Chain A
């Protein structure tokens, strides 16, 4: 099993450009999440999904959109990148349908720099 994978690993954008981050998991998990990690801020939830075709806003959703067309994939889009979106982005998944005591499985992260 590959677990949770993220594409790309690194990316540099110019202000105003758009991009999509791809997250894939092969564990048949129901729940998927996108977080951003900034120094001193810990992990902040951007959007999440409780199943195929569903999405919901997290703590910091502005400037991002997501889609969950297939159960195994969760896409994070930046329509018009801003320097404030420079961060490390993590995708995670869990078998949340079972119980909230299940741990999350994280991808390796995507380092995004917006100039």
Chain B
């Protein structure tokens, strides 16, 4: 079975500051990892995903995440926060070869101050 832990239910940054949202996973087999973003009153949409190959993954809107197997982490970063980045962010994991039932973290709300 797999699991996901997102550290911090809320993260607050100033506009222009670095964004770091933490995600740690647990999986007995190599995982597939995802970050989704949910803007207010909308559904989730994919930001980026890691499947195989390059461990640094670039996504939309300037976000990127690095898969670190030794740390079982997949933290999401963005060099400079923008007001429009304020949203809920979800990390998710699925396992290779299994039925496609991903496990989601509880989400991190990103607050961006002017």
Q: Which residues of A contact B (CB under 8 A)?
A: 4, 31, 40-43, 45, 48, 50, 58, 90, 92, 94, 96, 99-104, 106-109
Contacts and interface: CB of A to CB of B under 8 A. Distances in A.
B17 interface: no
B99 A100 contact: yes
A48 B94 CA distance: 15
B78 interface: no
Contact of B42 (A45, A96, A101, A109): A109
Interface residues of B, number: 26
Given A4-B43, A40-B9, A43-B90, A100 B100 contact: yes
Contacts of B99: 50, 96, 100
Contact of A100 (B9, B36, B98, B106): B98
B64 to A, nearest CB: 17
- Output the residue of B42, B49, B94 with the most chain A CB within 10 A: B94
Interface in B3-24: 9
Contact of B105 (A42, A50, A58, A108): A42
